[in-house]
A and B are shown apart, each in its own frame.
Chain A
């Protein structure tokens, strides 16, 4: 897997980089873009591709291993764990969107926006974004 396009990070976010990595890998596994047995870039490859401290990458990988998303193999690169055979049901995938939407909902309430209008905005954004 090409390490430069494996994940993207945003600096300036309150979300630590290792968290961003974890969430992106989980989303790609949930969508079936990454499947059981797929090799992921090594700590070294990804650290150099992203210009990120290697401890940040190994922290993310260790947590993904603990959560059963990745599997460590002796002397070989890590792979996606075997239970992830394809895209998860949409209901499960939608659940991964919950934290982001909860944040958006809190901000909508702060702005005193009617639910209808917030929903319409989300719909517009979904439709206009490049696929």
Chain B
């Protein structure tokens, strides 16, 4: 833990034993456990259709799971009081803005719900991101709608920010600008942020922690720095690999069978363990981790 963000008493969000299955479909979440701590920026990774949106919607109480418990700031997600509700910001994947309103009308409407509202930030972002205040929202471009949705989510200075593919329609400059805003949220308030995106370079910059959603569970969550330093890919015969894992005390994360009794093993080494000389081990980047672990 960094001195900037000491471990705090209550996690911002807790999911425990959460299961959800669509009628006639496979389980989207299967006894899933997850925890987000204050000040953490967690990047959520998963293949298309893995259930990232369902997971984030369940976290926010927008979807009721078949089983399990979801708590935000220590309160049951279905019984949040108004003060706690006002601590949450959400940018959905699909724009849910009122299309007939103008941005100015929309923001005035939302402003009435929140005890806290940072007008200076709203005005600053509206100008910087070049959003017409008095044009109906339906006439804005996809990128402008997405920016407006982000402004709406940041305006009340949330302590927990949930972002579902927030940058899909932004250009690289717009994305960088958005990431700077996120960093500002963390610097100013120690906000907890969780976001899903397929743009791994963005995630790598701001997400200190990465969570991998696979087969209905958070298969792994760890600081990205640690994963890059500790995870290696080894190749050899199945018996060699078993012996090597035992010798190194490594935790296998993914095994891929190859021909002739050989396999490729992606494994996490214990902290500060060097790979012995003579053992071939490939380093991995975030793309490799995404491909292997989701």
Q: Give the chain A neighbours of B224 by CB distance below 8 A.
A: 16
Report the tally of A-B residue pairs with Cβ distances under 8 A.
Answer: 68
Chain A positions 13-52 with a Cβ under 8 Å from a chain B Cβ: 13-19, 43-44, 47-48, 50-52
Q: What residues on B are CB-neighbors of A59 within 8 Å?
A: 2, 225
User: Does B100 reach chain A (CB closer than 8 Å)?
Assistant: no
Any chain A CB within 8 A of the CB of B76?
no
Summarize A's interface: helix, strand, loop or mixed. helix
Which of the four size classes fits the interface of chain B? 20 to 34
* Chain A residues whose CB sits within 8 angstroms of the CB of B205 once the complex forms: 9, 11, 17, 50-53
Whether A55 lies near B183 (C-beta < 8 A) is no
Supposing A53-B41, A55-B5 touch, asked if A16 and B208 sit within 8 A by C-beta, the answer is no
In the complex, which of the residues A44, A51, A59 has the most CB atoms of chain B within 10 Å of its own CB atom?
A51
Number of chain A interface residues as a range:
20 to 34
CA distance A42 to B205 in the complex (A): 17
Q: Which residue of A lies closest to B207 (CB)?
A: A53
Is B176 at the interface (CB under 8 A from chain A)? yes
Contacts of B184 in A (CB 8 A): 48
B228 touches A12 (CB 8 A): no
Q: Contact between B285 and A12 (Cβ–Cβ < 8 Å)?
A: yes
Given A16-B225, A48-B187, residue A58 in contact with residue B2 (CB < 8 A)? yes
In the assembled complex, how far is the CB of residue A13 from the closest CB belonging to chain B, in whole angstroms? 6
**Are B4 and A51 closer than 8 Å at their CB atoms?**
no
- Nearest-neighbour CB distance to chain A for B264, whole angstroms, equals 16
CA distance A18 to B176 in the complex (A): 19
Once the chains are docked, how many angstroms separate the CA of A33 from the CA of B130? 39
A56 near B201: Cβ-Cβ < 8 Å? no
Interface pair A17/B204, CB less than 8 Å apart = yes
With the chains together, A17 CA to B183 CA distance in Å? 15
Q: How many Å from the CB of B183 to the closest CB on chain A?
A: 5
Q: A17-B205, A18-B225 are in contact. Are A12 and B4 (CB under 8 A)?
A: no
**Sample (15) of A-B pairs whose CB atoms are under 8 Å apart:** A11-B204, A11-B205, A12-B200, A12-B201, A12-B285, A13-B285, A14-B285, A17-B204, A19-B225, A44-B187, A48-B183, A51-B205, A53-B208, A54-B187, A55-B2
Q: Could you list which residues of chain B lie within 8 angstroms of chain A, going by C-beta atoms? A: 2-5, 41, 176, 179-180, 182-184, 186-187, 200-201, 204-208, 224-225, 228-229, 283-287
Q: Which 7 A-B pairs have the closest CB atoms?
A: A51-B179, A14-B283, A11-B201, A16-B225, A53-B208, A11-B204, A16-B228
